[in-house]
Structure formats: structure tokens, C-alpha cells
């Protein structure tokens, strides 16, 4: 068993296998023979920010020693204790130095997330259930089809349900086994029932029928006829694995190779520190969030304390019960880290790739490897900056090199490609790509629906939204973010005024400091921006606060009626941004417990209600009598919310092309100049010119006898005609002066090569 000896891991380092085992054993010992334990996740408990400061400060000053005060090294062990009557979800915090264990049971009626393993579990419970068999007896499947159950979190309960136990639900499909291919796509064959299981008893409690009508039909499912309904009589397949396609693959896409013959430009140190160009950070990976960036610095100056993808909710807009329960919280109900794909070289990632493995948790608590769940690599993203001096024709151009931290998550039918990108000019990008297979249900043949779009005959993709939240914990040129302030900046047009704005071209930049925790809605008409600043440090050139600005896409927020449960449990999704007071461990936009929730508890809305403030008490006129759990002076954390209102196109079937969003976080007066001015404008010698012949062929399509192509790559021989000969009296003086052509003036010299 190969576990590296690790006396002093970095406080932000994930658990080693040895630490994992130690934490597991500490918890296992607590339980006697009467109790079974279901281990859900074992991972590092991040240190409290205050506890970590002395260590980080020493580390960055280079004064780290064995004596440097360290935060306690702790593991969090998420597990269920399974008793005769019920299961209890418990977070145990294990001190890895002392072996001490503190346990916190989830308050009833909170329910934990659903682990992938439980998916299988649910499938078994269904197929073995008489209730399920009876429901299925209402249908006849074509020869060679078998049932395939798609587990879903239970979502928001029905109106008449109060304090119900932990339940799971599922969508049901049929799979064509005649092709003997295990990857035959079952999503093309939806069966209109939804089974519901009691998590503890592992028994189905009911099977609900769902409606399959179209415009004008009732919300309720049709009552069945005596005769079993013949399903899928005219369905066509919707395969996506190449060997099952009934059309040929393209053969004319020639390879693009991305290589780094001299190796990559980044370094991963033995203690986990990652350095690329002037960036340095530590990579975390949690079962819920996936990859997390810690302690992000540029050129030895702090920029961010922690960056993470926090939550996403996906409510479906089909009003027919029980589709109101079709609302997933992909982080809180499932977990992006748990759902991370094992990435494949040359497929998920092109070029020179470094993969990151993680330690997963088996149900018995033992560690198991999660291989290649994060990839690290560099990529070219076009031009970063360029200027051409038109007087000399000299051009200087640099390329936009990015460092990418990517992971890809599968949640049943759907995929998310998530990444962080760092660039050479000090900017940070969050990127989300949504792909995979849209969630579908059955629709009577020939009908169309106001609730979605028909993807293939008999298959309806329901309208839905994906609303993401990312968490930005700034530390603008200060380790702990204590100096951080958040500014809302707007640009306002001004009326003509003889004294101040005689021609009406002036506009005013207005800044407002966020004094208390609040939400902020987007207002592109005012170019509203959120700025993260250091309140106590000014840029020596501009005199303005050192800062970074958050440039988030302006997108539609949650459409669900705020009175309804779907909105109540996703309050984070109702505003484009939130600014809350930092508290250790507050990482979840929709709160810790989203599965089966009826309300967002402990999410950003509650954090705002708490009333933390960011300015001095005096400035605020507030009193000092706050109890610990009331609002207090804090450093601000920004949550940026954005998303996709996804009204499916036929083009989204059977697997949808990516829908991409990016949030850019760019330095604003953080540096004293463009930090990428020192990027060499080196010519890449591997690039090749495609001359006429290499990609030009005489066209078969060319039936018109057309021969010349002025746009073909030519040697550019200028026609030398005699102006006079043409009978014109051209202004000689003018011509002489103007004899240079613009393109002649431009870039005719070689770019500088360093």
C-alpha cells in the first residue's frame, strides 16, 4: 500500500490516503455493532481563515519554519449512521493530530445529497418492486426493450407533503437491447411514470403517472385504458455512439496537433503549489465543488483567497405535476467533485497535459483513486495585444496564452465542462460549458407542447433554466481580505449643461461602496460593474484603489414564481450578484442542504438577512451589541450568478453542442501598467503558410467557367500603368505625397522576434 509519509502537509493540501484512512478509522471506532455506517465522503476540513493567516504570511514572506504556528489539521467525515428506524446524516470533524472527533448531526428535516452509488441502489429497488411492475403493466414495450431507471433527487415536495422522510424519485426509460450495445441511448424512449422510493426502507412508496399530452390537453395524466398502451411504435433511435449511427462520420476533418516540444511553462511543486508565469496558487478538490483555487497570487501579490463554483439549480418549466419536483441542485444534491469524469488525453484535453488524481471514498470508508479528474494545460487564445506604428509599418504583437484548470462532470443525462483560466495580463476567467443529453419526457405522437420542444417524434425536451453561482473570496493585495471593499460602479450619461457639459458628450462614473451585505442586480444600461478593491492601498499612478473588476454575463435570473417552492429553495438564483460577510465554511449559495429542501436555508439570502457590514461601525452608526450569530463586521465575499434559459432547439438532440458562459475578473489599477508588456512577441516557427496549391483545388463545382480569383494568395504584382497614358491629368504633387498605400505602410516589416 503506497501511502507517502507526510508529517507536515500544507494546510490547504487535500488529504493523503493515510490521512483519509486515519479519519475513517476514528469515526468507525465511535460506532458499535448496533449501527451500520455508510461513508459518504472524507476530505480535508479547510482551516479557519484566521488560523491560516500566520502560516500563509510566513510562507509568502519566506519565513516558514517548523515552529510556524499552523492551523489544526482536520478531516471532515460525512456519513450516515443507519439505525433500525431511520438513517442519520452526520458530519464528523476529525483532528488528525490528536485523533479527537467532533460530530454534528444534520438537523431534521435536512436531507443529505445523493451519492452516485445510491443511483444503482434506486434502480434495483424499482425493478424489484411490485408497485413498479404493476405500473409497467399498463404499457407494452417493443420486443427487445428493457426498462432503465434514471435516479433523480426528490426535489421540492408536493403541496400535501410535510416533513416527509428521505426519498428519491426517478425518470423511467426503455432501452433497445437488440443492438447488443450497452451504450444504446435510452433517452429516446421515455416511459410516462415516476417511481418514488423511501431511502431508508429502500422500498417504493408510489409510482406516479405523468401526462403525455400537448397544447390544450389537461395537466393531469390520462386515465389508462383497459388495454396496455403500446409504446414507441414509431420512435426512431437517437444514438450518439459512433458505431450505432445510421449515417457516416465526417472523414474530411484533418488533425490539428498542439505540441510543446520544449515542455510546458508551468511547475507543480512537491507540496502542491502550482506556478505558471507570475501566477501561483494551490489546487483543492472537494466532493461538492470539484476544483477550487486557493491563495491565488500574481507576481507575489495576493489576488484571491479562494475561488470556487458554488451551486447551480436547474428547474424545469413543465407545470404538469409531478414535474414541479424536477429541479436539481447539481452541487448540493449530487456534487460536482463526485461526478467528475476521468479525463482522456487527446479527447478532453489537447496538447501537453498534466492530470490530477484525487482520493475518493468508498461506502466502507476506504480510499479509492479518482484518476485524472482535473487537467492542467496551457493554450493559445489568439492575440493578447498588438500595435502597429503606421508611420514605420512596425507591428508588435503578442499571443494570449492561458493556463487552464478544467474538470468535467456528468450528472446522469447531462455534462458540465467547468474551468478556471489565468492569463498573461493578470486576468482570471470562470468558464462553464453545458452539454450532454437534455432531459426528456414522452409526448403523444403528432402533438406539440407549450412546455418544451419536440426533439424526435414522441420525445419532448422541457424548457428549463441552469442558474449558476460562483463564489469569489477576494484578497486584493492583502492575505486575508480584511482590507477588501466592494464597489458598485456605474457610467451615467449627462444632459447638456453650458458650464459642465456644453456638447453633451460627458458621462459620469459613479461609485458606491457596499456598506452592508446585499444583493446586486445587473444593469447593463448603466454598465453596472462590481469592483473588488483594497480599501487601504492606492495605485501610485492613478491614485485609485487597487482593484479587480468582475465582468459577468448579464443573463436572465430564475423565472419560477417567487411564491413557489422552486424559487423559495433557490433564492440565490433571483439576483445577479450577492455580497455577503465572510464566515468560515460558508461556501454554498443555496445553503448546505438542498436535497428535498422546501426553502433555501443558510444560503446567500440568509447571509444577507444576517446583516453583516463592511465599513467601520462609526461610519455605519451601528451599535456594538451584536451577538456572535448576528451581523458583524466582516470582509466581503462576492457571489456572481448567471445562467442559461434553455428552451431546447432540435439541434440540442441527441447530444447538445456546448452553451458557454464566461466571467472575467480583470485587474483595474491593480498594476502600474499592462502586466503583459514583458511578453515576448516571438514568431512561432511551426506555423506554416498554405500556398495556393496546398488548400486550393480547381473546383468541380465550378461550372461557370469562372477562372480568376483575385483573392487567391498571389505575389501581389502591382499593375504598372501609366496614368498619363490613360489621358488623365493627375495631381502629380498630390500623388507624390500620397504615393504610399496604407497597406504598404502597415506591418511590412517583420514583427520583432525575441
Instruction: Tell me which residues in 593-622 interact with its own copies (CB under 8 A).
Output: none
Residues 375-434 touching its own copies, rule: CB under 8 A, are 377-380, 382-392, 394-397, 399-401, 408, 410, 412-413, 415, 417, 423-427, 433
Q: Which of 178, 219, 585, 630 binds its own copies (CB under 8 A)?
A: 219
Instruction: Taking the CA atoms of 136, 138, 140 and 141 in sequence, report the sign of the dihedral they define.
Output: negative
Total Cβ atoms within 10 A of residue 723? 11
| 521 DSSP 8-state letter | -
Residues 702-731 touching its own copies, rule: CB under 8 A, are 702-721, 723, 726-731
Say whether 97 is catalytic.
Answer: no
Residue 476's contacts (CB-CB under 8 Å, 6 or more residues apart) are 302, 303, 483, 484, 532, 533, 534, 537, 546, 547, 548, 670
Output the smallest distance, CB 420 to its own copies, in A.
14
C-beta of residue 614 within 8 angstroms of C-beta of residue 486: yes
Q: Which of 94, 191, 207, 283 binds its own copies (CB under 8 A)?
A: 283
Q: Does 435 bind its own copies (CB under 8 A)?
A: yes
Burial of 90 (0-12, 13-18, 19+ CB in 10 A): buried
Say whether 330 is catalytic.
Answer: yes
CA distance 210 to 379: 47
Q: Does 18 bind its own copies (CB under 8 A)?
A: yes
Which one of the spans 46-54, 138-146, 608-616, 676-684 is the region binding its own copies (CB under 8 A)?
Answer: 676-684
Kindly tell me which of 50 and 694 has the beta carbon lying closer to its own copies.
Answer: 694
CA distance 373 to 354: 11
Query: What's the start-to-end Cα distance of the chain, in Å?
Result: 50
Which one of the spans 111-119, 304-312, 472-480, 626-634 is the region binding its own copies (CB under 8 A)?
Answer: 111-119
Annotated catalytic residue within 113, 316, 414, 420: 414
Q: Which of 6, 93, 131, 205 binds its own copies (CB under 8 A)?
A: 6
Q: Which of 259, 621, 627, 628 binds its own copies (CB under 8 A)?
A: 259
Output the smallest distance, CB 570 to its own copies, in A.
11
In DSSP terms, 408 is beta-bridged to 417
Residues 627-646 touching its own copies, rule: CB under 8 A, are 645
| C-alpha cell read off for 580 | 455577503
Q: Which of 317, 476, 517, 579 binds its own copies (CB under 8 A)?
A: 317
**Sheet containing 36-45, strands listed edge to edge, beginning at the edge strand earlier in sequence:** 36-45, 74-82, 87-95, 101-105
| C-alpha cell read off for 312 | 447551480
Which one of the spans 12-20, 101-109, 136-144, 633-641 is the region binding its own copies (CB under 8 A)?
Answer: 12-20
Nearest Cα to Cα of residue 193 among 173, 208, 183? 208
| Cα distances (angstroms) measured from residue 198 to each of 117, 165, 169, 206, 207 | 16, 7, 9, 9, 12
Q: Does 563 bind its own copies (CB under 8 A)?
A: yes
C-beta of residue 439 within 8 angstroms of C-beta of residue 326: yes
Q: Does 108 bind its own copies (CB under 8 A)?
A: no
Kindly tell me which of 223 and 689 has the beta carbon lying closer to its own copies.
Answer: 689
Tell me the three state secondary structure of residue 121.
helix
Tell me the three state secondary structure of residue 392.
coil
CA distance 290 to 300: 26
Residue 485's contacts (CB-CB under 8 Å, 6 or more residues apart) are 513, 514, 532, 533, 534, 535, 545, 614, 615, 636
Task: Locate all alpha helices (DSSP H) within 549-620, ordered by sequence.
Answer: 565-568, 604-610, 617-620
Q: Does 538 bind its own copies (CB under 8 A)?
A: no
Residues 289-308 touching its own copies, rule: CB under 8 A, are none
Q: Does 105 bind its own copies (CB under 8 A)?
A: no
Kindly tell me which of 9 and 192 has the beta carbon lying closer to its own copies.
Answer: 9
CA distance 677 to 245: 50
Q: Which of 47, 332, 365, 481 binds its own copies (CB under 8 A)?
A: 365
Which one of the spans 304-312, 592-600, 627-635, 736-744 is the region binding its own copies (CB under 8 A)?
Answer: 736-744
Kindly tell me which of 396 and 619 has the beta carbon lying closer to its own copies.
Answer: 396
Residues 228-257 touching its own copies, rule: CB under 8 A, are 238, 240-243, 245, 247-250, 252-257
Q: Does 466 bind its own copies (CB under 8 A)?
A: no
Q: Does 344 bind its own copies (CB under 8 A)?
A: yes
Annotated catalytic residue within 330, 333, 473, 669: 330
Kindly tell me which of 31 and 222 has the beta carbon lying closer to its own copies.
Answer: 31
Strands 279-286 and 273-276: antiparallel
Q: Does 103 bind its own copies (CB under 8 A)?
A: no
Residues 129-168 touching its own copies, rule: CB under 8 A, are 156, 159
Output the smallest distance, CB 413 to its own copies, in A.
8
Residues 47-86 touching its own copies, rule: CB under 8 A, are 59, 62-66, 68, 82
Which one of the spans 105-113, 501-509, 580-588, 596-604 is the region binding its own copies (CB under 8 A)?
Answer: 501-509
Q: Does 203 bind its own copies (CB under 8 A)?
A: no
Kindly tell me which of 62 and 107 has the beta carbon lying closer to its own copies.
Answer: 62
For its own copies, how many residues bind (rule: CB under 8 A)?
Answer: 307
Q: Does 35 bind its own copies (CB under 8 A)?
A: yes
Q: Does 215 bind its own copies (CB under 8 A)?
A: no
| Cα distances (angstroms) measured from residue 285 to each of 44, 116, 310, 357, 628 | 9, 17, 12, 10, 30
Cell 488548400 sits on residue: 695
Cell 493554450 sits on residue: 379
| Cα distances (angstroms) measured from residue 549 to each of 155, 302, 426, 428, 510 | 36, 15, 12, 10, 15
Output the smallest distance, CB 259 to its own copies, in A.
5
Q: Does 752 bind its own copies (CB under 8 A)?
A: yes
Q: Which of 234, 505, 623, 624 binds its own copies (CB under 8 A)?
A: 505
Active site residues per annotation? 330, 414
Amino acid at each position: 500500500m503506497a501511502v507517502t509519509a507526510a508529517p507536515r502537509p500544507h494546510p490547504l493540501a487535500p488529504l493523503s490516503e493515510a490521512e483519509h484512512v486515519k479519519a475513517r478509522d476514528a469515526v468507525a471506532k465511535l460506532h458499535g455493532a448496533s449501527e451500520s455506517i455508510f461513508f459518504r465522503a472524507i476530505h480535508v476540513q479547510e482551516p479557519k481563515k484566521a488560523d491560516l493567516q500566520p502560516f500563509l504570511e510566513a510562507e509568502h514572506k519566506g519565513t516558514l519554519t517548523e515552529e510556524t504556528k499552523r492551523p489544526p489539521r482536520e478531516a471532515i467525515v460525512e456519513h450516515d449512521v443507519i439505525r433500525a428506524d431511520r438513517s442519520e446524516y452526520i458530519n464528523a470533524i476529525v483532528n488528525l493530530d490528536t485523533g479527537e472527533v467532533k460530530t454534528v448531526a444534520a438537523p431534521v428535516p435536512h436531507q443529505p445529497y445523493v451519492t452516485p452509488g445510491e443511483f444503482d441502489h434506486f434502480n434495483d429497488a424499482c425493478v424489484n418492486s411490485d408497485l413498479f411492475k404493476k405500473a409497467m403493466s399498463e404499457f407494452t414495450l417493443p420486443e427487445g426493450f428493457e426498462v432503465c431507471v434514471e435516479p433523480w433527487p426528490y426535489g421540492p415536495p408536493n403541496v400535501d407533503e410535510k416533513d416527509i422522510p428521505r426519498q428519491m424519485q426517478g425518470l423511467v426509460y426503455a432501452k433497445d437491447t437488440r443492438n447488443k450495445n450497452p451504450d444504446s441511448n435510452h433517452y429516446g424512449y421515455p416511459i410516462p411514470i415516476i417511481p418514488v422510493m423511501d431511502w431508508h426502507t429502500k422500498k417504493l412508496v408510489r409510482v406516479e403517472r405523468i401526462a403525455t399530452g400537448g397544447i390544450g390537453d389537461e395537466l393531469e395524466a390520462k386515465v389508462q385504458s383497459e388495454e396496455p398502451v403500446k409504446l414507441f411504435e414509431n420512435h426512431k433511435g437517437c444514438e450518439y455512439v459512433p458505431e450505432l449511427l445510421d449515417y457516416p462520420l465526417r472523414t474530411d476533418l484533418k488533425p490539428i496537433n498542439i505540441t510543446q516540444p520544449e515542455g510546458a511553462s508551468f511547475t507543480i511543486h512537491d507540496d502542491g503549489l502550482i506556478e505558471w508565469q507570475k501566477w501561483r496558487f494551490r489546487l483543492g478538490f472537494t466532493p461538492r465543488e470539484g476544483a477550487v483555487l486557493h491563495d491565488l497570487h500574481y507576481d507575489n501579490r495576493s489576488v484571491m483567497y479562494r475561488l470556487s463554483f458554488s451551486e447551480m439549480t436547474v428547474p424545469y418549466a413543465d407545470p404538469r405535476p409531478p414535474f414541479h419536483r424536477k429541479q436539481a441542485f447539481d452541487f448540493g444534491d449530487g456534487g460536482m467533485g463526485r461526478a467528475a469524469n476521468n479525463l482522456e488525453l487527446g479527447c478532453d484535453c489537447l496538447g501537453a497535459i498534466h492530470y490530477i488524481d484525487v482520493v475518493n471514498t468508498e461506502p466502507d470508508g476506504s480510499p479509492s483513486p479518482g484518476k485524472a479528474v482535473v487537467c492542467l494545460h496551457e493554450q493559445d487564445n489568439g492575440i493578447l495585444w498588438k500595435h502597429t506604428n503606421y508611420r514605420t509599418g512596425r507591428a508588435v504583437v503578442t499571443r494570449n496564452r492561458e493556463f487552464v484548470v478544467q474538470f468535467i462532470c456528468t450528472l446522469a443525462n447531462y455534462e458540465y465542462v467547468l474551468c478556471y483560466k489565468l492569463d498573461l495580463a493578470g486576468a482570471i476567467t470562470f468558464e462553464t460549458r453545458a452539454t450532454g443529453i437534455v432531459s426528456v419526457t414522452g409526448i403523444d405522437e403528432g402533438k406539440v407542447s407549450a412546455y418544451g420542444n419536440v426533439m424526435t417524434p414522441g420525445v419532448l425536451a422541457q424548457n428549463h433554466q441552469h442558474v449558476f453561482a460562483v463564489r469569489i473570496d477576494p484578497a486584493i493585495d492583502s492575505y486575508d481580505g480584511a482590507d477588501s471593499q466592494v464597489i458598485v460602479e456605474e457610467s451615467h450619461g449627462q444632459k447638456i449643461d453650458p458650464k459642465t457639459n456644453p456638447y453633451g458628450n460627458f458621462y459620469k462614473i459613479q461609485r458606491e461602496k457596499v456598506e452592508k451585505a446585499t444583493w446586486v442586480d445587473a444593469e447593463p444600461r448603466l454598465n453596472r460593474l462590481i469592483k473588488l478593491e483594497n480599501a487601504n492601498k492606492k495605485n501610485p499612478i492613478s491614485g485609485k484603489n487597487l482593484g479587480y473588476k468582475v465582468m459577468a454575463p448579464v443573463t436572465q435570473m430564475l423565472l419560477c414564481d417567487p411564491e413557489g417552492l422552486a424559487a423559495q429553495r433557490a433564492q440565490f438564483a433571483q439576483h445577479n450578484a450577492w455580497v455577503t460577510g465572510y464566515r468560515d465554511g460558508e461556501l454554498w449559495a443555496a445553503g448546505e442542504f438542498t436535497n428535498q429542501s422546501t426553502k433555501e436555508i443558510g444560503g446567500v439570502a440568509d447571509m444577507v438577512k444576517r446583516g453583516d457590514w463592511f465599513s467601520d461601525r462609526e461610519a455605519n452608526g451601528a451599535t456594538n451589541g451584536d451577538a456572535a450569530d448576528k451581523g458583524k463586521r466582516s470582509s466581503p465575499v462576492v457571489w456572481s450568478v448567471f445562467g442559461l434559459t434553455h428552451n431546447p432547439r432540435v439541434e440540442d438532440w441527441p447530444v447538445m453542442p456546448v452553451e458557454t458562459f464566461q466571467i472575467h475578473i480583470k485587474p483595474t489599477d491593480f498594476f502600474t501598467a499592462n502586466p503583459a508588456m514583458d511578453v515576448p512577441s516571438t514568431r512561432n516557427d511551426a506555423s506554416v503558410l498554405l500556398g495556393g496549391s496546398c488548400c486550393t483545388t480547381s473546383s468541380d463545382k465550378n461550372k461557370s467557367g469562372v477562372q480568376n480569383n483575385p483573392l487567391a494568395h498571389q505575389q501581389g504584382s502591382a499593375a504598372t500603368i501609366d496614368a498619363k497614358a490613360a489621358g488623365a491629368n493627375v495631381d502629380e504633387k498630390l500623388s507624390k505625397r500620397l504615393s504610399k498605400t496604407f497597406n504598404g505602410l502597415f506591418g511590412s516589416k517583420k514583427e520583432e522576434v525575441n
